[in-house]
Structure 1
Amino acid sequence: MLLRFALVCCSLASSACLATADNFDRRALADKHAPAGIMGDHLHGKGEWMVEYKYMNMYMEDNRIGENTVSDATSLGTAVPVGPPGPGITIDGVTTNRGATPTQMTMEMHMAHIMYGASDDVTLYTMAMLPSMTMDHTRANGTDFTTHNSGFGDMGFGALLRLYSDENEDWIFNLGCSVPTGDIYRETSTPTGSPTAFPYPMRLGSGTFNARPGLTYKRYSDWYSWGAQFQTDLPIGKNYRGYSVGDEFRFNSWTSVLLTDNISVSLRGEHLWRTEYDGHDPAANGTLISTNVEQFRGGYWYNLGLGAQYLRNGHYFNTEIVPTIGQDLNGIQLETDFAFIASWSKSF
């Protein structure tokens, strides 16, 4: 499907717009980076720096059990509001949502990314993350409330290692990790009026050191390029609250098509798997709300990324809109509708 997309887009592009010099650098055109939702896909020459700002907005609405969307009344365990506490909903032996259920969530992420070419074959990187999360809820009596959390997230570090390259293809290994700089025990007084720990998806970090190994393959042709990446996020042990977030596995494949030397479009498919949380935070009361149930944090998502890239005077702009095409969630969770990702970067 990606190749057919490339052929259709190629018919819109004039080959006269593409560079024709025998010695031009194919990796210097508009498709030199993967789509905006991909990290760790390229290296820099020895002594070269790159700075990047990336923004992501993810929107979730309605609850889902497995592959099926359910109403707010169903997720509360009652089709008729009866006043709190509601009877709750029982899934896999867990009775939850006695107090309230989430109805929608918006997660914004601001990311500052720095890369440095330690050699032609090794690029070092670091990334600071500033998440901001807002979640709306409803009670069985029909009243609503909203919680919000934002701040400094977990820091990422790593090295990209060139395993193999020739004039047409690259193999890159990502030796990455994250450190637990995000707060996992910030409290909120909403809605109880007394300090209460935020539920799991509203916390700013994992609380653990995480290993993030990955592998990327890219291949360049005259007017298009394509690639694939397998990336992981694996917690090491449990955090001081007594739990660890689930393992995460992502497999992406994409095709980018040059419309001119400076403009390209892309199509990306992403398979995402997450396992349930391990352990339990004593402050997380899963009987009151499903977002505090550890076994309700895993599942499978399939996302489709539609992107465009623009290169001008060394400034690189990369954007994607990413609707979620399919999802199969463990227990009861908010379903993901779409994400928007945009970035600016400059090498020097």
Structure 2
Amino acid sequence: MLLRFALACCSLGCLASVSMADNFDRRALADKHAPAGIMGAHLHDKGEWMVEYKYMNMYMEDNQIGENKVSDATALGTATPVGPPGPGITVDGVTTNRGATPTQMTMEMHMAHIMYGASENVTLYTMAMLPSITMDHTRANYTDFTTHNSGFGDTAFGALLRVYSDECQDWIFNLGCSVPTGDIFRETSTPTGSPTAFPYPMRLGSGTFNARPGLTYRRFHDWYSWGAQFQTDLPIGKNYRGYSVGDEFRFNSWTSVLLTDNLSVSLRGEHLWRTEYDGQDPAANGTLISTNVEQFRGGYWYNLGLGAQYLFHGHYFNAEFVPTISQDLNGIQLETDYAFIASWSKSF
């Protein structure tokens, strides 16, 4: 009874704040989608399709322990050049980086996204991902090398379920998952000349089926809209290499402001939590490099998204610059500097 009363009050408040002419769809304006970094935040009419191409580039540089940046020399455990293997650095009781330390990483991601309105209350979706990862390193004798890995990542599937909607608000439940189509055991001959498994951050998938439930709330007003989303990524069991990636939890909130019916700008805040890996790949030698230490994969990040959305003759363009404002990393890891995300989509 109380829930019905609250929804009724919310609906009346919405009608008072949004002036709608007959047949006017407030959700058809430039802020109809969430900012580019958000997935699973809108529905489609029955029988409607949407195709989308999305691109992401994330840049990481310099090592960090907890909230503190450290030099390459500190990350290697020595302030003077020595021949490898070096003494390494001990963090949280784990000695690592005796062979080398990462100094920066760039991850590009190309994504193909399809959505289909199966009914007025259910929208189905799938997304294929193509990551490309490049990581620079320095050895204990301060010679450098670079490794690169690319190919198909894990594939996402799911259904967006309408929990409640009225003239200007939506509650949407994301019943999502991913399947392990990304390669998790590929070898490189860099830098030793003999086959060596890529470290954890350079692998293309999780190797497990992952559950990705989430919940989104959106509210539209005359000249602006806002929303909030809680999204998870939870591996089920361990992969064939004997480990599972960490659980991931994201909480986003955003506001979009209409400059015109076809152009909007957005501001988004994101809290991101990741837990450490469970288990261990026998090929991952954490004493040589920190990217192979399972305990050093978790942490907390706060990201700020500055975005713009443009609607042009049915084509929808969405872009966002996402600097990382603060981060508290488990163990020693590369710190995240920023990400750039852009997409094009069209419904028909």
Q: Same fold (TM over 0.5)?
A: yes
Aligned partner of 1:135 in structure 2 is 135
- Residue deviations 1:139-172, cap 9 Å, x none? 1111000000000000000000000000010000
Report the Cα distance in structure 2 between the residues aligned to 1:287 and 1:296, rounded to whole angstroms: 12
Aligned partner of 2:48 in structure 1 is 48
> 210-219 vs 87-96, which deviates more?
87-96
Report the Cα distance in structure 2 between the residues aligned to 1:63 and 1:22, rounded to whole angstroms: 57
User: Contact conserved, 2:208 with 2:239, CA < 8 A, in 1?
Assistant: yes
* % identity of equivalent residues: 91
- Residue deviations 1:89-117, cap 9 Å, x none? 00111100000000000000000000000
Aligned partner of 2:107 in structure 1 is 107
Question: Which 5+ residue runs of structure 1 have no aligned equivalent?
Answer: 1-17
Aligned partner of 2:263 in structure 1 is 263
1:21 Cα deviation from its structure 2 partner: 4.0
User: Contact conserved, 1:19 with 1:261, CA < 8 A, in 2?
Assistant: no
Aligned partner of 1:154 in structure 2 is 154
1:23 Cα deviation from its structure 2 partner: 3.0
Report the Cα distance in structure 2 between the residues aligned to 1:19 and 1:280, rounded to whole angstroms: 58
- Residue deviations 1:3-41, cap 9 Å, x none? xxxxxxxxxxxxxxx997443100000000000000000
Aligned partner of 2:200 in structure 1 is 200
TM-score by length of 2: 0.94
Q: How does 1:271-286 map to 2 (within 5 A)?
A: 271-286=271-286
Aligned partner of 2:27 in structure 1 is 27
Question: Which 5+ residue runs of structure 2 have no aligned equivalent?
Answer: 1-17
User: Contact conserved, 2:88 with 2:96, CA < 8 A, in 1?
Assistant: yes
Report the Cα distance in structure 2 between the residues aligned to 1:84 and 1:241, rounded to whole angstroms: 28
Taking only aligned residues, the RMSD between alpha carbons, in angstroms, comes to 1.0
AA aligned opposite 2:61:
E
Q: How does 1:1-348 map to 2 (within 5 A)?
A: 21-348=21-348
AA aligned opposite 2:280:
H
Aligned partner of 1:10 in structure 2 is none
- Residue deviations 1:292-335, cap 9 Å, x none? 00000000000000000000111000000000000000000000
Report the Cα distance in structure 2 between the residues aligned to 1:85 and 1:290, rounded to whole angstroms: 14
- Residue deviations 1:31-61, cap 9 Å, x none? 0000000000000000000000000000000
> What SS does structure 2 have at the residue aligned with 1:259?
strand
User: Contact conserved, 1:62 with 1:103, CA < 8 A, in 2?
Assistant: yes
Report the Cα distance in structure 1 between the residues aligned to 2:91 and 2:62, rounded to whole angstroms: 17
User: Contact conserved, 2:20 with 2:26, CA < 8 A, in 1?
Assistant: no
- Residue deviations 1:109-143, cap 9 Å, x none? 00000000000100000000000000000011110
Aligned partner of 1:8 in structure 2 is none
Aligned partner of 1:15 in structure 2 is none
User: Contact conserved, 2:19 with 2:222, CA < 8 A, in 1?
Assistant: no
AA aligned opposite 2:289:
I
- Residue deviations 1:204-258, cap 9 Å, x none? 0000000000000000000000000000000000000000000000000000000
AA aligned opposite 1:242:
G
User: Contact conserved, 1:76 with 1:100, CA < 8 A, in 2?
Assistant: yes
